[in-house]
Structure 1
Amino acid sequence: MSRTPKHVFVTDAEPLRSNWRAAFPGAHLIDGTAPLKECDGDLFWLMLPYEGDVGAAVLKWRQIAEKAPVIALSDEPRDEEGLLVFRAGASGYCNGYASPLVLQQVAETVAQGGVWLGQSLLQKIVMVTAQEAPRPPEIPPQWAMLLTEREQTVALAVATGASNKEIADQLDITERTVKAHLTAVFEKLPVRDRLQLTLLVTGRM
């Protein structure tokens, strides 16, 4: 029988606590001044401060959490803020007032090694990663050898930040066909989403 993950929520906002306990009845809720001995957990949820450096807040709790993932919560999620916390190492970013069902979905995704981000934020991060990426090597990398030529083309297009519609237009195929190619890519490579695919293709994973 598998052990139930220990969730640690860091917040001073009392109204949110009942919602989080509904999602994870055994969750440990602490404020930002809790002793380190109270900060042992498998998954950390950090309610971001209203003011101040959110990136620094995430970095602080990543150090405290050690190898456990940190998910940043915001009362008003914005792509700019999400980009900051992602660069600081957060494994997820979502609304602190999300329903218990959504919080459970976030936890499942992150626990399996995925990243939870809004669609528009994910697209921005993929584009930024692609722009900062080093030039691809002339010799085909190992990941490319696992894919068909068309799947390689789709994977490379994703790594430039292109949407499914843009890829379909570039290759003169339907969006449904693009999705089919991506499904095959995700099955053949050790990636779960477009961001991980971009990191792999650009040599950062």
Structure 2
Amino acid sequence: MPDKDPSPIRILVVDDHPVLREGVTSILEDHADMIVVGEARDGAEAITQFRALKPDVTLMDLQMPVMNGLEAIMAIRADFPDARILVLTTYAGDVQAVRALKAGATGYLLKSSIRTEMLDAIQNVYRGRRHVHGDVAAEIALHIVDDSLSEREVAVLRLVAIGKANKEIARAMSLSEETVKAHLKSIFAKLEVADRTHAVTVAARRGIIEL
């Protein structure tokens, strides 16, 4: 008798955009070795669906309402340490990618590469291998030896991003203006930028802050 076909990889798709969920499902419908067993619109739904379905691989967006993907990854992995989660996002920032991988994601894929790379990424993650999109991996390698911004520097930068002046930042954080200026000088050096606008742009691109 011929060998029985192996069971398809059972996949949970988590994204707040129905068009993205439909697109992923449409691609996977053509592959008998994979099947979408459930969908979720946010991190809270993802946790509920994961507990009910126990999927082999979860495709997880990061920016979602109610509960974001990072929080969902940590919650799922806390209860299911062997959960295989592949981040599927538009954000190529190295800091955000490292944050997701440290939270327990097994892979990190950009939505722009769904049609060219998603199937291989799912297979790799299912087999317990890491899969990180090439551009993201290059960014991680580029910045791996950089000094990280401190929590206070990130807090200062978030206030800069919403247009706060040094005096307003000092008041909001109970600091002196001189201390705020010192933090900004350190931020500029670490991000290799010369001004506030460029600092915000680079920090957002790398996933250090969200705009």
TM-score, normalised to structure 2, is 0.51
SS in 2 for 1:44: strand
Establish whether residue 8 from structure 1 lines up as the match of residue 12 from structure 2. Answer: yes
Residue 183 of structure 2 is matched in structure 1 by none
Residue 39 of structure 2 is matched in structure 1 by 29
For residues 20-71 of structure 1, what are the alpha-carbon distances to aligned partners after superposition, in whole Å with 9 as ceiling and x for unaligned? 0123223122223433454421101111115887543321232455522011
Q: CA RMSD in A?
A: 2.9
TM-score, normalised to structure 1, is 0.53
- Change in 2 beyond 3 A, CA 1:50/1:103: same
Residue 59 of structure 2 is matched in structure 1 by 45
Identity %: 14
- Change in 2 beyond 3 A, CA 1:115/1:13: same
Work out which of the two has the higher radius of gyration on C-alpha atoms and give 1 or 2.
2
Partner AA of 2:63 in structure 1: P
Establish whether residue 83 from structure 1 lines up as the match of residue 93 from structure 2. Answer: no
Larger mean Cα displacement after TM superposition, 55-64 or 100-109: 55-64
- Change in 2 beyond 3 A, CA 1:7/1:50: closer
Measure, in 2, the Cα distance between the counterparts of 1:55 and 1:31.
Answer: 14
Measure, in 2, the Cα distance between the counterparts of 1:75 and 1:108.
Answer: 21
- Change in 2 beyond 3 A, CA 1:48/1:101: same
Structure 1 residue 78, shift from structure 2 partner: 1.5
Aligned residues: 130
Measure, in 1, the Cα distance between the counterparts of 2:96 and 2:76.
Answer: 17
For residues 132-176 of structure 1, what are the alpha-carbon distances to aligned partners after superposition, in whole Å with 9 as ceiling and x for unaligned? xxxxxxxxxxxxxxxxxxxxxxxxxxxxxxxxxxxxxxxxxxxxx
Q: Does structure 2 retain, via aligned residues, the 8 Å contact 1:72–1:93?
A: yes
Query: Which structure 1 residue ranges, 5 or more long, are not aligned?
Result: 130-205
